[in-house]
């Protein structure tokens, strides 16, 4: 291991990719003492960042245990990088995931607890995608271990900051049974919960439109119309647009709801500029959507007005032929 690190260090950064593969391979055959000695010896060398990545990517219990112990005590400056690398390993070990859950529960550092949770979520996502049966179980909320993890994240949240963190974690593990958790933050009356809405919308963007019911669709349109109890930001409205357009192939009435709200001279020009820009992009990338939108615009009541060309907004609509 040390000889590989020395050679890689001398060639760094010219052959960074080759060095990473060689280091990972060496780690697989190294003892825990070999790894610890190498961490101590190469801590202050250019190759150390690659070595940390390799320890995480190796995905073995030996590499994980040594990395966890070394980067929480002797070299804490590499802990975050180690967790990020571990989250990308293709070698999924349930024993490692279980230990990460215990570590997350016992740590007093909220910052690292969040990074540990990100890692667990990523590893569970890969675990769930590894076989058809696991994918089905996770998707339908039938995997007890995954359910326990998501419930523990939700249960510990008492404020908006924690709820935002929870949704960011769940973006790495987008499961259908988590949809109600995100949907509850849409179009709310409470100021603190309204802060969570934007992250909830980002989470909902990850799902196929066929999973959204009309109750949720109505909430999304109220955000778009700025008709919620609290004032909506342009960012939230544009996120709602993206989600609603993803639903269009499954629920055709959405197009009519959009077009009925068109005005000859739109007041919220930034929002409408984004809307027309999104429609134009979607028509270029989806033949089905293009056919659907052409059909919608063929109705006389929905034919475009030429005030659309002069919207004053920062969204790029220069190349749009009225969507």
Q: In the chain, what are the domain boundaries?
A: 185-317
**Strand (E) positions, the chain?**
none
> 127-134 long-range CB contacts below 8 Å, 24 or more apart?
127/92, 127/94, 127/97, 128/173, 128/175, 130/92
Q: How far apart are CA 303 and CA 300, in angstroms?
A: 5
Record the tokens describing residue 222, joined without a space.
């109220």
pLDDT at 287: 92
Contact partners, residue 289, CB within 8 Å, separation at least 6: 245, 248, 249, 282, 283
DSSP state of 130: S
Tens-digit pLDDT string for the chain (323 aa): 888 888 888 877 666 667 888 999 999 999 999 999 999 999 989 889 999 999 999 999 999 999 999 999 999 999 999 999 999 999 999 999 999 999 999 999 999 999 999 999 999 999 999 999 999 999 889 999 999 999 999 999 999 999 999 999 999 999 999 999 999 999 999 888 888 999 999 999 999 999 999 999 999 999 999 999 999 999 999 999 999 999 987 788 899 999 888 877 778 889 999 999 999 999 999 999 999 899 888 887 777 654 454 455 555 544 444 55
Angle between helices 61-73 and 79-86 (to 10 degrees): 160
Q: How far apart are CA 140 and CA 211, in angstroms?
A: 12
pLDDT at 317: 46
DSSP per-residue letters across 162-182 = HHHHHHHHHTTS--GGGHHHH
Q: How far apart are CA 214 and CA 217, in angstroms?
A: 5
* pTM summary value: 0.86
Q: How far apart are CA 272 and CA 24, in angstroms?
A: 51
CB of 141 within 8 A of CB of 147?
yes
CA atoms within 13 A on the CB side of 134: 10
Q: At CA 55, angle to CA 53 and CA 60, rounded to 5?
A: 135
pLDDT at 299: 80
Contact partners, residue 19, CB within 8 Å, separation at least 6: 7, 8, 11, 12, 47, 50
């Amino acid at each position: 291991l040390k000889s590989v690190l020395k050679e890689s260090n001398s060639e760094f950064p010219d052959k960074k990719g080759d060095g990473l593969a060689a280091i990972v391979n060496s780690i697989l055959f190294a003892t825990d003492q070999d790894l610890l000695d190498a961490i101590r010896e190469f801590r202050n060398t250019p190759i150390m960042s690659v070595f940390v990545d390799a320890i995480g990517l190796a995905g073995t219990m030996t590499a994980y245990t040594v990395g966890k112990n070394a980067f929480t005590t002797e070299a804490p400056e590499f802990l975050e990088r180690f967790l990020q690398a571990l989250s990308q390993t293709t070698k999924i070990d349930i024993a490692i995931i279980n230990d990460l859950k215990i570590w997350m529960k016992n740590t007093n550092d909220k910052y690292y607890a969040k990074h540990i949770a990100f890692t667990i979520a990523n590893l569970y996502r890969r675990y769930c995608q590894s076989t058809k049966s696991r994918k089905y179980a996770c998707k339908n909320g039938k995997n007890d271990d995954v359910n326990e993890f998501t419930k523990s994240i939700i249960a510990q949240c008492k404020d908006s900051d924690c709820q935002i963190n929870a949704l960011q974690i769940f973006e790495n593990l987008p499961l259908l049974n988590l949809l109600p958790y995100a949907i509850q933050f849409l179009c709310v009356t409470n100021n603190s919960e309204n802060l969570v809405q934007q992250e909830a919308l980002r989470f909902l963007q990850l799902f196929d439109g066929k999973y959204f019911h009309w109750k949720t669709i109505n909430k999304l349109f109220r955000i778009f119309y700025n008709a919620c109890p609290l004032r909506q930001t342009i960012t939230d409205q544009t996120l709602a647009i993206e989600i609603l357009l993803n639903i269009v192939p499954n629920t055709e009435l959405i197009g009519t709801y959009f077009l009925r709200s068109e005005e000859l001279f739109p007041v919220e020009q930034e929002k409408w500029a984004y809307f027309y820009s999104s429609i134009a992009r979607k028509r270029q990338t989806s033949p089905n959507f293009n056919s659907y939108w052409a059909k919608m615009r063929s109705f006389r009541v929905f034919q475009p007005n030429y005030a659309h060309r002069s919207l004053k907004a920062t969204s790029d609509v220069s190349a749009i032929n009225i969507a």
